[in-house]
């Protein structure tokens, strides 16, 4: 039988360097609160993006392991659903405390496997932790409604969990995105099977260990691994009632269609091309700092990275000053002091980003700052792309049409704010946008007319905190964004409403003939 270890025995000290791990351990499945060695025949090598050293091998979980995860989650569902809300709240409090205690360890795993700087990785953890903290307030969020609809008759509504749910996660936020799902799914009484990204599952494995320590019973949270094969299993498994997906359009549109066709609820956040409109009346220094930070932070590998600027009027002259700020950023291994951005996730991603920069050059845009060929001395083998700034970009160019997902800022020019709004609205994506201006009237018009779902006014990355919801729109969500992540829509996603109508008459019925017409209570 496969080797199992208890969660507690997996605790390790966390890495603080990019040194080669001498004997990398294989990543395990997490089933019934136990780490279980996979019997996989296919493995995916995971490399540190700063060095390309092997960190671990991630299994393509076998059919039997996937089956075991779903069966475990199904077995756990009824008893978990029947625990009191206050009990689940207590588990969530413990989970929150443990995430705080293990914050550095989680962040270090992210830096090692994903590449982002340690400080940025701590932010990745915190944004997820905040969702878990908000879920602790579930006791006031889960109340239903009641109304006396006619004499002696009342209707009550209850929010009930769905059953087994699943989450399919991307590589770019290895802690935050699993934590968009785990807290709300579980605190509302569901169980969940998570498939972290095969490119950086380490943070999720630490979270799994913390789930066991926090008191989640076996089966409430299970973790399986792999790529498309695991995803197809999730999409086709009848016991799984809801699927959360965050990732690219290519995978997400397929996942949305197939899971929906199989009758599941689906929430799916997809790709982006986030624009800033830069107006001549803005606070210039604030705007330029904000743009450089939001374009190049996390090496541009954020779905809310500010990857596109529309320079309105004379602000097109400011592009050189954005480049000056970009040049000051330190591109280095994520554990190094002072590193501002780390490597991109893989050699393939680096190649794709460099190809898009080359395409911009061929199509006649101006490469103001070229990050191709950059290498920090200490990490010559990493997947490096330095900050790159491309000006005079036109909407037909590939570098504008495709999501670059790297440290590349493309700048277009517009004569007026109206032209900027039209340009932003003509783009297929609608995740986020920002405007930099001192005029309340201009900001107000922008806010009303722009079609992106998350708008920043002098705020470069307007990702809402968990009391709101992540409200991308257009091609940045599948299914019209009916089920957005966290906040009230997140609660709706993980619960179904049951309404109960009851009649308690004080006098006994005297008529002896049944009424056959539709009851209307009017």
Edge-to-edge strands of the sheet including 495-503?
A: 146-150, 153-161, 495-503
The yes or no reply on residue 224 touching ligand NAD (CB under 6 A) is no
Binding mask 351-370 for ligand NAD (x = CB under 6 A): --------------------
The yes or no reply on residue 259 touching ligand NAD (CB under 6 A) is no
- Contact in structure between 295 and 409 (CB atoms under 8 Å): yes
3-state secondary structure 230-253: HHHHHHHCCCEEEEEEECCHHHHH
Provide the 3-class DSSP secondary structure of residue 134. Answer: helix
Q: 99 or 169, CB closer to ligand NAD? A: 169
Q: 226 or 376, CB closer to ligand NAD? A: 226
Instruction: By CB under 6 A, name the one of 59, 115, 123, 170 that touches ligand NAD.
Output: 170
Compute the least distance from the CB of residue 245 to ligand NAD, in Å.
7
| b/e sequence 360-378, b meaning 16+ C-beta within 10 Å | beeeebebbbbbeeeebee
Cβ neighbour number for residue 395 with a 10 Å cutoff: 10
Binding mask 39-78 for ligand NAD (x = CB under 6 A): ----------------------------------------
Q: Could you tell me which of 270, 262, 329 has the C-alpha nearest to residue 294? A: 329
Instruction: By CB under 6 A, name the one of 15, 334, 472, 489 that touches ligand NAD.
Output: 472
Interface size with ligand NAD, residues (CB under 6 A)? 28
CA distances in angstroms from 400 to 91, 131, 307, 415, 507, listed in the order given: 46, 33, 9, 19, 73
Backbone angles phi, psi at 145, to 5 degrees: -125, 160
Q: 254 or 468, CB closer to ligand NAD? A: 254
Binding mask 263-282 for ligand NAD (x = CB under 6 A): ------xxxx----------
The yes or no reply on residue 114 touching ligand NAD (CB under 6 A) is no
Tell how far CA 291 is from the center of its chain: 22
Candidates 8-16, 100-108, 183-191, 194-202; binding stretch for ligand NAD (CB under 6 A): 194-202
Instruction: By CB under 6 A, name the one of 110, 231, 389, 434 that touches ligand NAD.
Output: 231
Q: 55 or 287, CB closer to ligand NAD? A: 55
Catalytic residue list contains 303 = yes
Pair of tokens at residue 417: 């704010």
Compute the least distance from the CB of residue 281 to ligand NAD, in Å.
31
Cβ neighbour number for residue 358 with a 10 Å cutoff: 14
Q: Could you tell me which of 391, 153, 408, 112 has the C-alpha nearest to residue 278? A: 391
3-state secondary structure 430-484: ECEEEEECCCHHHHHHHHHHCCCCEEEECCCCCCCCCCCCECCEECCECHHHCCC
**H and E: helices and strands count for the chain:** 16, 22
Compute the least distance from the CB of residue 195 to ligand NAD, in Å.
6
The yes or no reply on residue 493 touching ligand NAD (CB under 6 A) is no
Instruction: By CB under 6 A, name the one of 72, 267, 307, 476 that touches ligand NAD.
Output: 476
The yes or no reply on residue 246 touching ligand NAD (CB under 6 A) is yes
Candidates 2-10, 36-44, 185-193, 247-255; binding stretch for ligand NAD (CB under 6 A): 247-255
Compute the least distance from the CB of residue 244 to ligand NAD, in Å.
11
Tell me the C-alpha distance between 60 and 227, whole Å.
7
The yes or no reply on residue 400 touching ligand NAD (CB under 6 A) is no
Query: Choosing from 169, 211, 303, 399, which is the catalytic residue?
Result: 303
Tell me the C-alpha distance between 504 and 181, whole Å.
40
Tell how far CA 91 is from the center of its chain: 23
Instruction: By CB under 6 A, name the one of 7, 37, 44, 227 that touches ligand NAD.
Output: 227
Query: Which residues are near ligand NAD by CB under 6 A?
Result: 168-173, 195, 197-198, 227-228, 231, 246-248, 251, 254, 269-272, 303, 403, 405, 431, 470, 472, 476
Q: Which residues are catalytic?
A: 303
């Amino acid at each position: 039988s496969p080797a199992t270890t208890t969660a507690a025995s997996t605790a390790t000290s966390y890495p603080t360097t990019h040194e080669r791990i001498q004997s990398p351990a294989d990543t395990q499945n997490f089933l019934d609160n136990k780490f279980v060695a996979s019997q996989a025949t296919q493995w995916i090598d995971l490399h540190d993006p700063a060095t390309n050293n092997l960190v671990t091998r991630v299994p393509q979980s076998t059919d039997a392991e996937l089956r075991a995860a779903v069966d475990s989650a199904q077995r756990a569902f009824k008893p978990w659903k029947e625990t009191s809300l206050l009990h689940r709240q207590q588990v969530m409090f413990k989970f929150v405390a443990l995430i705080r205690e293990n914050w550095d360890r989680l962040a270090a795993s992210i830096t090692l496997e994903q590449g982002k700087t340690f400080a940025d990785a701590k932010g990745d953890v915190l944004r997820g932790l905040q969702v878990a903290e908000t879920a602790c307030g579930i006791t006031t969020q889960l109340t239903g409604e009641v109304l006396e609809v006619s004499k002696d008759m009342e209707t009550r509504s209850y929010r009930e969990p769905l059953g087994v749910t699943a989450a399919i996660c991307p590589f770019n936020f290895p802690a935050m995105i699993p934590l968009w799902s785990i807290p709300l799914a579980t605190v509302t009484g569901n169980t969940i099977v998570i498939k972290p990204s095969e490119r950086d599952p380490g943070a999720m494995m630490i979270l799994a260990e913390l789930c066991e320590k926090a008191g989640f019973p076996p089966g409430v949270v299970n973790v399986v691994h792999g790529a498309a094969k695991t995803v197809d299993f999730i999409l086709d498994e009848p016991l799984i009632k809801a699927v959360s997906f965050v990732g690219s359009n290519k995978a997400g549109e397929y996942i949305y269609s197939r899971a929906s066709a199989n009758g599941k609820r689906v929430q799916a956040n997809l790709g982006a091309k986030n624009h800033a409109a830069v107006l001549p009346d803005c606070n210039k220094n604030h705007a330029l700092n904000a743009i450089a930070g939001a374009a190049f932070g996390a090496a541009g590998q954020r779905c809310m990275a500010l990857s596109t600027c529309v320079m309105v009027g004379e602000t097109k002259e400011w592009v050189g000053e954005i480049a000056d700020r970009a040049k000051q950023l330190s591109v280095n291994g994520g554990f190094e002091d002072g590193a501002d951005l780390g490597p991109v996730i893989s050699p393939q991603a680096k190649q794709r980003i460099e190809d898009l920069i080359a395409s911009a050059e061929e199509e006649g845009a101006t490469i103001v700052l070229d990050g191709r060929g950059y290498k920090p001395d200490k990490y010559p083998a990493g997947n490096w792309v330095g900050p790159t700034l491309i000006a005079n970009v036109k909407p037909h160019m590939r570098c504008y049409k495709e999501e670059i997902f790297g440290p590349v800022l493309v700048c277009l020019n517009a004569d007026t704010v109206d032209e900027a709004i039209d340009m932003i609205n003509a783009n297929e994506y609608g995740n986020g946008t920002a405007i930099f201006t001192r005029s309340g009237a201009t900001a107000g018009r922008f806010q009303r007319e722009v079609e992106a779902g998350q708008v920043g006014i002098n705020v470069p990355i307007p990702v809402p905190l968990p009391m709101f919801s992540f409200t991308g729109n257009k091609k940045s969500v599948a299914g019209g964004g009916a089920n957005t992540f966290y906040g009230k829509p997140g609660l709706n996603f993980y619960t179904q409403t049951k309404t109960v109508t009851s009649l308690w008459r004080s006098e006994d019925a005297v008529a002896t003939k049944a009424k056959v017409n539709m009851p209307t209570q009017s």
